[in-house]
Amino acid sequence: MAFSDGLHFQAILSPGFQTIGTVMPGIPLPPSSPLSIEPISMRVPDACRFTGISRSTLYLLIARGEVEVVKMGSSTLVLTESLRGLIERHRAGNLGNL
């Protein structure tokens, strides 16, 4: 949808990150923009896509306490901050093995 002031807004959905606007078509807003939104949590399939790990690996990490989840009714919500922490811990561990 284009507005008279020349701004163009679009929704781009991706696991873990949602951009709800662009200043120019094809150029996403920076993460610091007030129009950028990152979810607090996500469902298991989205968490798998976000990290690139399998569903069974994610459940093993949850069982070991490496990934934090919240149960809301029948939904299992994986905390985004927990996934970022997991990746950072493994990244730091891998840097020591180089």
Number of H helices, E strands in the chain: 3, 8
Under 8 Å between Cβ of 33 and 41 = no
Question: Domain segments of the chain: what residues?
Answer: 1-38, 41-95
Checking if the pLDDT of 48 tops 90, the result is: yes
Confidence class for position 16, pLDDT limits 50, 70, 90: very low
> Percentage of the chain with pLDDT > 90?
51
Q: pLDDT at position 88, please?
A: 93
pTM over 0.75: no
